[in-house]
Structure 1
Amino acid sequence: MKRRIFLKSASATLAMGGLGLHAVLATAADGADAFAWSRARADTLVGQSFWLNHPESGAMAVTLAAVLAPARLDPHLDQFSLVFRAAGKPLVVDGIYDMDHPAIGRFALHLTPAGVDANGASFRSDFTLLT
């Protein structure tokens, strides 16, 4: 990876992280309950529809197909991967996307393409959270 691309990606990630933190802090200050990711909460969302807001293609319907956990679990970490499915072959590259869900609202999520088959495309988002 070229240094320039790495630096652009890193700065975008930091900027998006800062924006997300600001939104969570603003919500907490208002006294509203903000959604906090965990493997247990993600499991309750399997099969539900989300909207991926693609900067070029617009809103794309995706479904949370699975929540995967590593074979070896660390008692101090909550590690899991969200696997989303989309019909067709949407052009989604590795990056941060705004997502919408009726109960959660809008949030940013880093997605990585995970393959294409006859049923459509898969995207993965990996989490490692301290417990």
Structure 2
Amino acid sequence: MERRTFILATGGLLGASGAGHAAPLAALATPGLTPAAALRAATFTRLVNQSFNVYASQRGVAMQLVAVKQQPSAAGHEQFRLSFNGAGATLPSGTYTVEHAAIGQVPMYLEVTGSDAQGTSYRADFNLLV
């Protein structure tokens, strides 16, 4: 295969793979917030101790955002971690639709970090170009 043909073919595949992510990002359109601003640590900090709906299927699981931890970041980057606690059904690590009235619906990878008598703990890590 010629290099030019390969580049054109894979470039089309990369563009097509990103097309499916346009709809969830459009859901971030909240009055006063751009999609990029909705995913910033400052936005989530205002939502600590509030309930979020996490959808694994048609039925949501309620989780509480318990902490936002800023990570050391270089200029032009923002790194932070969200910590959630769910007292209901335990979800395996994976990508879920996370919903809150302030940010709309956001696809997020939640990783199980532990479990105790109070429920299951999850985390979501963000590394953003700002």
Give your verdict on TM over 0.5: yes
SS at match of 2:21: helix
Aligned to 2:67: 66
**How do residues 78-89 of structure 1 correspond to structure 2 at under 5 angstroms?**
78-88=78-88
Are residues 1:37 and 2:39 paired?
A: yes
Q: Structure 2 vs 1, CA of residues 55 and 77 (structure 1 numbering), >3 Å: closer, same or farther?
A: same
Deviations 1:51-74 (A, max 9, x none): 011238x2111011100122x332
Distance 1:123 1:110 in 2: 10
| Alignment CA distance shift 1:97-1:66 (3 Å) | same
Percent identity of paired positions between Structure 1 and Structure 2: 33
1:46 partner SS: coil
* Conserved 8 A contact 1:53-1:99: yes
The 8 Å contact of residues 99 and 108 in structure 1, kept in 2 or not, is answered as yes
Q: Which runs of 5+ in 1 are unaligned?
A: 1-13
In our comparison, the structure showing a higher alpha carbon Rg is 2
Change (3 A) 1:117 1:18: farther
2:49 is equivalent to residue 47 of structure 1: yes
Q: Residue in 2 aligned with 1:75?
A: 75
Name the count of aligned residue pairs: 112
Tell me how far apart the structure 1 counterparts of residues 86 and 25 of structure 2 sit (CA, whole Å): 28
Judge conservation of contact 1:85–1:120 (CA < 8 Å) in 2: yes
Instruction: Return closer, same or farther for 1:76/1:27 CA change in 2, 3 Å cut-off.
Output: closer
- In structure 2, stretches of 5+ residues that fail to align are 1-15
How big is each residue's C-alpha offset from its partner over 1:5-58, in whole Å with a ceiling of 9 and x where there is no partner?
Answer: xxxxxxxxx96x643324535887xx98544211111111111111011238x2
- Any idea what the Cα deviations from partners look like across 1:85-112, whole Å, max 9, x if unmatched? 1114x23112111122122222211111
Query: AA paired with 2:74?
Result: D
Calculate the TM-score normalised by the size of structure 2: 0.71
Distance 1:111 1:26 in 2: 19
Does the CA contact (< 8 Å) of 1:24 and 1:34 recur in 2? no
